[in-house]
Structure 1
Amino acid sequence: MTRTWFITGASRGLGRAFTEAALAAGDQVVGVARDVAPLDGLVAASAGRLVAFPLDVADRAAVFAGMQRASAAFGRLDVVVNNAGGVLLGMVEEVTEQQARAHLDTNFFGALWVSQAVVPQLREQGCGHVLQVSSMGSAGGFAATGLYSAGKAALDAMSEALAMEVERFGIKVTILQPGGYETDLFTSGLTQTAEIADYAPLREWLAGLWSESEDFDPALAAEVVLQVANMAEPPKRLILGGAAYDMVEQLTRTRTAELAKWESLSKQAD
């Protein structure tokens, strides 16, 4: 059966790769982004299987109206990918109120609005799959990416609750936690804070650390996501990337060891 995908942030990066993979598999796609002009060529070549229109997921009313438009395009929605997002880079002390609110409006609230808008339709259908694009960074806070990790951690928690709430309606929810991919997330998708000089040594250390990391082809992630979308019983949480998997596994082991270290003190509290 030909499926219909709804993908946010579809014009670039992972969203673009997911869109291309779904089309290559013979499916139909409704792709949205703040700027959908980069999708013009793909729309023209899709023989009507790709519909694209601008949408700011931070605008709740616009999301609900956009979901109705998306549903009307092909008559139904089967796979919903909450991919839209950006990075806020800077120390916690440096982040302004406006930056924090704007960042979370897209990275967390945008996914919340899309989820709220699509669940009634999927519930009526008795099926559907919501893929929440989180990040390996949601596994724990890290210097200079605290707000980014916070937004993704909130998305994880909300999505776990959503999965429990909608599973009896035949709706699946998968949290995707990608590692580093070759996208423009850290260029056009980046917001930076005004730097406080006292953090210069830490920034220098971070720059050296990040220069050693490797980014991968988004098409590799898209191939895996296509497999997930084809599963009758998909994973509830999936790390995308071997390097990301190893890092999250190490962080989990470290956290478990820290938990055990203070077990006796914790149990004194009740």
Structure 2
Amino acid sequence: MARTALITGASSGLGAEYARQLAARGTDLVLVARDRSALTALADRLVSRHRVEVEVLPADLLDHRQRQKVERRLGDAARPIDMLVNNAGFGLPLSFARNDIEDEVHHLRLHVEVPMRLTHAALGPMLARGGGRIVNIASVAGFIPRSTYGACKGWLISFSRWANTRYAARGVTTTAVCPGFTHTNFHERMGLPPGQEGLADWMWLDADDVVAQSLRDIARGKAVSVPSLRYKAIVALTRVLPAGLLASVGERGR
């Protein structure tokens, strides 16, 4: 596994879980998010428990100057980053027509433009060293018509597949991790209290299982990782079900 990993959206949810599991494997970390205090608290716990080096890099990735700090850190040859985890993101209500268009633009930029820019910043140094791993946190929604969230995640999946095909032979693998609905604070940040997302219990995954399974796929250099058998089956069905039925399924949950 990587010697040093940079994780965006690291202050909570899947980002924090990647930080915990990578630190447990002895990986040094660079943690990126807007909330400095949350990053510092997580860093202190990881250093105390696992004796790894943890750098806190607060940044709003939608701010040009702050994002450039992260890009420069990815390109720092003296302190190489072996793994980039593009995890930062947020959700919106599924009704595109009622959503504020500026919110939609910010959503598109954070889920598509930002990981593209950070991947570009990391890729050159990784190729020069002959090794590295890029991880894009996508979603099963990327296989299902699900408003602009599914569209953004579908882009990440397609981009990751192409990049893995293009650069894996030179030592740099790219993996799109596609979890289903996962117990984190993601839905709470959208204003939905726990238990009010409109989903059956069987559809929920635990964050630690998602990350553990994805790390195995990342280590194998897989282009797409779909944690859990139940969601692997759902993704397989998306290849044969009619588009109208898939769109109806995509309206479930929030």
TM-score range (shorter-chain normalised) is 0.7 to 0.9
Using the TM superposition, give the Cα deviation of residue 140 of structure 1 relative to its aligned residue in structure 2, in angstroms: 1.6
Give me the whole-angstrom Cα distance separating, in 1, the residues matched to 2:213 and 2:9.
18
Moved more, 45-54 or 58-67: 58-67
Unaligned residue ranges in structure 1 (runs of 5+): 193-206, 259-270
Provide the TM-score with structure 1 as the length reference: 0.78
Partner of 2:34: 34
Give distance in 1, aligned partners of 2:212 and 2:101. 38
Cα contact 2:32–2:39 (8 A) shared by 1: no
Instruction: Please say if 1:216 is aligned against 2:175.
Output: no
Whole-Å separation in 2 of the counterparts to 1:208 and 1:107: 22
Cα distance, 1:116 vs structure 2: 1.3
The range that moved more, 86-95 or 119-128, is: 86-95
TM-score by length of 2: 0.83
- Mapping 1:93-108, distance limit 5 Å: 93-108=97-112
1:67-87 per-residue CA deviation (whole Å, 9 max, x = no partner) reads 333565982111111111111
Superposed counterparts of 1:27-66, under 5 Å:
27-45=27-45, 46=47, 47=51, 49-66=53-70
**Structure 1 residue 161 corresponds to structure 2 residue 165:** no
Q: 1:208 to 1:48 in 2, by over 3 A?
A: closer
Is the contact between residue 18 and residue 225 of structure 1 (CA under 8 Å) also seen in structure 2?
Answer: no
**Letter of the 1:171 counterpart:** V
Q: CA RMSD in A?
A: 2.6
In the alignment, the residues of structure 1 paired with residue 191 and residue 125 of structure 2 have an alpha-carbon distance, to the nearest angstrom, of: 34
Aligned counterpart, 2:149: 148
Report which stretch shifted further, 112-121 or 130-139.
112-121
Deviation at 1:137, TM superposition (A): 0.2
Cα deviation digits, residues 58-100 of structure 1 (max 9, x gap): 3355333223335659821111111111111131322332121
Distance 1:247 1:74, change over 3 A: farther
Percent of residue pairs bearing the same amino acid type: 22
Shift of 1:168: 4.0
2:115 corresponding residue in structure 1: 111
Aligned-partner residue type, residue 249 of structure 1: A
| 1:13 alignment partner in structure 2 | 13
Report the alpha carbon displacement of residue 170 of structure 1 after superposing the two structures with TM.
1.7
- The residue aligned with 1:268 is none
**Structure 2 equivalent of residue 25 of structure 1:** 25
Contact 2:75 2:121 (8 Å CA) reproduced: no
Give the corresponding residue for 2:249.
none
Alignment of 1:250 with 2:237, yes or no, is yes
Paired letter, 1:137: A
The number of equivalent residue pairs is: 237
1:173 aligns with 2:174: yes
Counterpart-to-counterpart distance in 2, 1:180 and 1:36: 27
Contact 1:179–1:243, Cα closer than 8 Å, also in 2 = no
Residue 43 (structure 1) shift: 1.7
- The alpha-carbon distance between structure 1 residues 191 and 121, as it changes in their structure 2 partners (threshold 3 A), is farther
Partner of 2:227: 240
C-alpha displacement of 1:215 = 2.3
Measure, in 1, the Cα distance between the counterparts of 2:127 and 2:141. 31
Shift of 1:31: 1.1
